[in-house]
Amino acid sequence: MNPLKLFTLTLMAGVALQADAFSFEWTDTEGEYLDLKHGSRNIARYVYEAIDRSTPERREATYKPFCHIYHWYSRDQFITKGPGGKFTHHRGIFYGFSKTSYTDRDGKKHENVDTWHCRRGHLVHREFVDKTAGEDSASFTSLIDWVGDDGKSFAEEKRTMTFSMEGSDVIVDFQSTLTPTVPEMRVDGDPQHAGFQFRAHNDVHDKHKNATYYIRPETGIGAAGETINWSAKLDNKRTRDLPWKAMCFTVHDRRYTVSYLDHPDNPKPARYSERDYGRFGSYFATDINTEEPLTVNYRLVIHQGEFEAEEVAKQSEAFLSEE
């Protein structure tokens, strides 16, 4: 064969291999979790194992689906927290409300149904209705039953998570539509126990609490170890209806920053909370029904390193400009 032609074929094959190596790919361990890779790098794991009531420990481990994010420099470590550790109900990227109330079809009222701690309720993944992966992004849509303390479903959630890359940063878009299967329903809680939240690995709590700091729209980078939380006494633009917030923390001896980007169409007021052990996010309270389900949209930008406030503000602008 002509040496030049052989070189061209080899180069073309190399280009094809390189393109394939940097595509997204799902691997499903059926009934347990869904793993996402980008090339050879592990990106995320969606844990969806159905609730197992065989022991209290197994129930605790399986009472709600959540999403892990992988450590940049490890194939098997996460920067997010799973079951156990400080506050076992905190699970990576998660969503729920500690005070849900509804009236069932028999007219019985159910109060303080808890899909946060999952003491008087729980969430069950039923099926994936969509799963895609390509060069630019990957996504899945999970149907989730919200189940009350009587063991009956009172709402169905359609949760879509989309993953993409900006350089080495992982961008996670979270969209959820929650539709009651009962006549009326209200979601509620408090800043520490409801809403859409991110929880870093328990390593932050055990070793690096004093190194955690927050970046806020009004004041920029805060002091390490300092937290600001919404309360009735601190109800202002520093704690409510923020377009974004970011948390910088240390895990596995690396610095990471997570930007939390809210959407103006999400219910308001949105009340924010922060913890030095690495949990933050916002919650709201609202009534929903079958004709008007609850749809929320959030974005997380997960970065190995640190951000300036101006960078997070630009991420928020980019998120809102994509409509």
Q: What is the pLDDT of residues 11-45, one digit of tens each?
A: 333 333 333 458 999 999 999 999 999 999 999 99
pTM of the model as a whole = 0.92
Note the pLDDT tens digit of each residue in 85-126. Answer: 999 999 999 999 999 999 999 999 999 999 999 999 999 999
97-321: which CATH number, 1.10.10, 1.20.950, 3.80.10, 2.70.98?
2.70.98
pLDDT of residue 21: 53
Q: What is the mean pLDDT of residues 245-250?
A: 98
pLDDT of residue 195: 98
Structure-token pair, residue 182: 């009962």
Beta sheet of 66-69, edge-to-edge order: 24-29, 33-38, 41-47, 66-69, 93-97, 194-199, 279-283, 271-274
Could you tell me the residue ranges of all domains in the chain? Answer: 97-321
Distances (CA, A) of 192 to 70, 274, 303: 24, 8, 24
Task: Please indicate whether residue 137 or residue 22 has the higher confidence score (pLDDT).
Answer: 137
CB–CB of 195/170 below 8 Å? no
Cα gap 252→91, rounded to integer Å: 18
Share above pLDDT 70 across residues of the chain, in percent, rounded to a whole number: 93
Flag whether pLDDT at 287 surpasses 50: yes
Share the mean pLDDT of the chain. 92
What is the DSSP annotation of 205-228? HHH-GGG-EEEETTTEE--TT---
Task: Please indicate whether residue 93 or residue 253 has the higher confidence score (pLDDT).
Answer: 93
Please give the span between the terminal C-alpha atoms of the chain, in angstroms, as a whole number: 53
pLDDT of residue 6: 37
